[in-house]
Structure 1
Amino acid sequence: MIDLFRSESVVVRSMPTKDVSRWIVTFDNYGIGHGFDRPGFGQEFLRQSGVSALHVMGCQEDWYQYPEMAEAMAAARAATVGADRVMTYGSSMGGYAAIRFADAVRAHAVLALSPQYSIDPQKMPSETRWLQDSHRITWLPEVDGRIICRARPVVVFDPLEDGHQVTRIQRDIDIRQVALPYVSHPATTYLAETGLLKPLVLQALSGDFEHIAFGREARRRRGASSFYLSNLAMRQPAHRRGLALDLAQRAVKIGPSSPLASLALARLLSAEGRHDDAIKRLEGIVTSTKRAPVYLISYVDALVAAGRFDEARPYAREAVEALSHQAHLHAWEGALLQRLGEAREAVEAVERAIALDPRPQYFQLLETYRDDAEANALSQRNGAVRVPRMLARLSTAIRGVRKA
């Protein structure tokens, strides 16, 4: 393992195998981790498959908007000179990079799972999933401009989640698309569960990939996927709640150890008012995942839905501390504190959100919370106890700023 290029922002790490005639250049997905003391995207999978790899690793979730990317890609290109096949590969943010840097490494093939065209609000105003990052990042025209790609990328995605992004990619370049509704974002999880990820990667690398046949087979396997069924359950409208619960229960039977399948069922149980069942199931998920923050958040939401605000508070704090860089979670915690009548603490939580992401919705919440804090202080001086107002409105506002 050798670092071919390293700066404060990006590393290109070489992990060759015995076969150096084929190389895959990978790019990190969102949330894979900060810094460089970690595996690259797909590192162990590619090593076990006997495929030589270059792992391009960004220092954080910046969509590779680094001025030194040209130099980094030059190092990657030099390392694969003479190879029979070079493929760029990534999921989500990594899929964005796999398409955009394919020409820079002279790739013969591209595999992009659930990619973005861009998350720059000026280019993709409909994209709201990474708003905090999209406003933080300085978008470089040499990276985030019009796509030029000589290879014809293979793009696997859920059109309900990423159709707008893929449509925009197609305006710039020709692609081979495999659209799989209800596999969610990223499609990687579904492909791995159904045993399709490895053949997809190897066939795309070899040049033997047939996207129409692959799409047919991927759709055929949906009924045996707990991930697919749980996503399909969560997509059902309110008047099909019975069908949603049935689908979620089937998902859990197929994948009894899958926290994602169990989570979907818990959320639906909570929406049905079956709070004890939902909370019990979420307690099991939190334990089995060693208190992973994403599941703590859902556990707090279920406790709040059950009116168990005091119980929810320490778990909310734990989740926020684990993901303190995410502004929407500070606003989320502020809503809980407001419900508990702790207006001053709610103000402080929203101020933390604004420090990370000064969006208008947070300022609106801050104004409301400050009004309540001042009114509470006045009521206490007058010997009265005041219940926080506008809770329904606040709940609606928080749902609007929660990250998708």
Structure 2
Amino acid sequence: MSGIQFDGADIRISANEHIVRGARKGVPFVTFSSRSRQPISPIFGGDFFARRGIPALHVQSKWNHWWHTPEMAELAEVIARLRLGPSVLYGSSMGGYGALMFGRRLEAAAIVALSPQAYILAPLGTFDTRWDEYRPFFSAQFDEEIALREQAGLPAWIFVDRQHALDRPHLEILDRVRGQVGANAWHLIDVPYGYHPVSPALQKAGILGTLLDDLYAARLPDTDALVRRSQLAYRKDPKSLFNYLRGVGEDALEHHRAMAHASFESGPADDHEFLFMSAEVFLKLGEPELAMTISERSVAAAEAPAWLATKHAGIVASVRGADVALRFLRGLPHLNGHPDVLRVMERLERRGASRPLLNAVGAGP
């Protein structure tokens, strides 16, 4: 990526070639990177904007600070120096949070946020335990409630899977703030079964391309059409499809058997969430050995967190028996004494080898 404009301890700001060359015809974009375990977060949407000839300024985090860093003041200076004018702020998850919080400060024209957090800071944001490991390392640089209220009147398209247990509260917060400040220009769009983040489902359904192209051309997006298309986006994305299939009845599931096999073959083979969803579906379809093989791959992809380990234990108990599932859980020293693991072990010991346990374990992150 060409055109580094600022490279600090916390963030890097770079301009794509369409800004560097001065080839700017439409509304530019400012993107915020997502949470990452890499030393610097990958650029968000870089290839998309480069291919489409859209000018974009990319902000990358060098650690997961949710944009609570004094260096964010540099972003406004870069935008002013490059004379970008009003831009569209765009991000997913942590990046979506950044897009939501900085709209007015960066004099944005609009916001597109995918599965964003509404609050991350203590005490208001601590209900979302996914980010507990990061909170101790950054301190508030702005008030989240005030920052959200500042966006009233600014057009925003916010996409969230309302069924996702930990993303739904963020959507509810945004809906509450929208009602309090009269932010009628905020469009809160549900992406059923899209999981977290919803970006893959939206991308594969062509929804993101349509929305971003409209905003680049300064056209008013057809929000009603976006809502309708988002309801069915899960059909285009293997991970979202399996998330949907986990909840359908056995008769309906049987009609999707061929689709499930085809989607599994085209799905992300190294995504442990996709793998555990697939394992659950194939177990329901009466293919226990395939379910077991897939579930073993899910826990082999990385050091299994508690929710994934208990998911796998449920599959093992159903296919191999509770004693084998117990041996698996006891062989995970990094989860020794974890309360969720202890609860599942207790159930395994109580229910015995023949009792299926899929409904007894957690529902994932």
Q: Could you state the TM-score of these two structures normalised by the residue count of structure 2?
A: 0.74
Query: Partners of 1:78 and 1:268 in 2: how far apart?
Result: 52
Query: Partners of 1:300 and 1:163 in 2: how far apart?
Result: 25
| Structure 2: 5+ residue stretches without partners | 351-356
Give the Å deviation of 1:20: 2.7
- Count residues with an aligned counterpart: 331
Give the Å deviation of 1:221: 5.6
Query: Do residues 24 (structure 1) and 29 (structure 2) align?
Result: yes
Match of 2:75 in 1: 73
Superposed, which structure 2 residues align to 1:1-400 within 5 Å?
Answer: 1-17=2-18, 18=21, 19-21=23-25, 22-31=27-36, 33-36=37-40, 39-69=42-72, 71-83=73-85, 85-133=86-134, 135-140=135-140, 142=142, 144-146=144-146, 147=148, 148-149=150-151, 151-161=154-164, 162-173=167-178, 174=183, 175-208=186-219, 209-219=221-231, 223=235, 225-236=237-248, 240-244=249-253, 246-247=255-256, 249-253=258-262, 256-259=265-268, 264-270=277-283, 274-281=287-294, 292-293=301-302, 301=313, 304-305=316-317, 306-307=319-320, 339-340=330-331, 346=333, 349-350=334-335, 362=338, 390=346, 392=348
Give yes or no for contact 1:4–1:75 (8 Å, CA) kept in 2: no
Query: Partners of 1:139 and 1:73 in 2: how far apart?
Result: 19
Range moving further from structure 2, 123-132 or 19-28: 123-132
Deviations 1:137-191 (A, max 9, x none): 4441515342112522111222222332122123334212222222222221111
Match of 1:323 in 2: none
Give yes or no for contact 1:303–1:311 (8 Å, CA) kept in 2: no
Give yes or no for contact 2:16–2:55 (8 Å, CA) kept in 1: yes
Give yes or no for contact 1:183–1:190 (8 Å, CA) kept in 2: yes
Query: Partners of 1:103 and 1:350 in 2: how far apart?
Result: 44
Pick the structure with greater CA Rg.
Answer: 1
Match of 1:320 in 2: none
Give the Å deviation of 1:6: 2.1
Query: Partners of 1:35 and 1:163 in 2: how far apart?
Result: 30
Query: Partners of 2:320 and 2:207 in 1: how far apart?
Result: 43
Query: Partners of 1:204 and 1:294 in 2: how far apart?
Result: 41
Give the Å deviation of 1:39: 4.0
Give yes or no for contact 1:90–1:113 (8 Å, CA) kept in 2: yes
Give the Å deviation of 1:282: 5.4
The residue type equivalent to 1:123 in the other structure is: L
Sequence identity percentage: 21
The residue type equivalent to 2:142 in the other structure is: E
The residue type equivalent to 1:203 in the other structure is: D
Query: Partners of 1:257 and 1:243 in 2: how far apart?
Result: 22
Query: Partners of 1:44 and 1:151 in 2: how far apart?
Result: 27
Query: Partners of 1:201 and 1:301 in 2: how far apart?
Result: 42
SS at match of 1:63: coil
The residue type equivalent to 1:34 in the other structure is: Q
Deviations 1:7-65 (A, max 9, x none): 2111112223152343211111223x4223x6411111111111121111111222122
SS at match of 1:235: coil
Give the Å deviation of 1:192: 1.5
Query: Partners of 2:45 and 2:93 in 1: how far apart?
Result: 13
Query: Partners of 2:328 and 2:242 in 1: how far apart?
Result: 31
SS at match of 1:111: strand
CA distance 1:75–1:244, shift in 2 (3 Å): farther
Query: Partners of 1:251 and 1:158 in 2: how far apart?
Result: 21
The residue type equivalent to 2:119 in the other structure is: S
| Structure 1: 5+ residue stretches without partners | 313-334, 352-360, 369-388
- RMSD value over aligned CA atoms? 4.0
Give yes or no for contact 2:295–2:315 (8 Å, CA) kept in 1: no
Query: Partners of 2:189 and 2:340 in 1: how far apart?
Result: 41
SS at match of 1:181: coil
Match of 2:354 in 1: none
SS at match of 1:120: coil
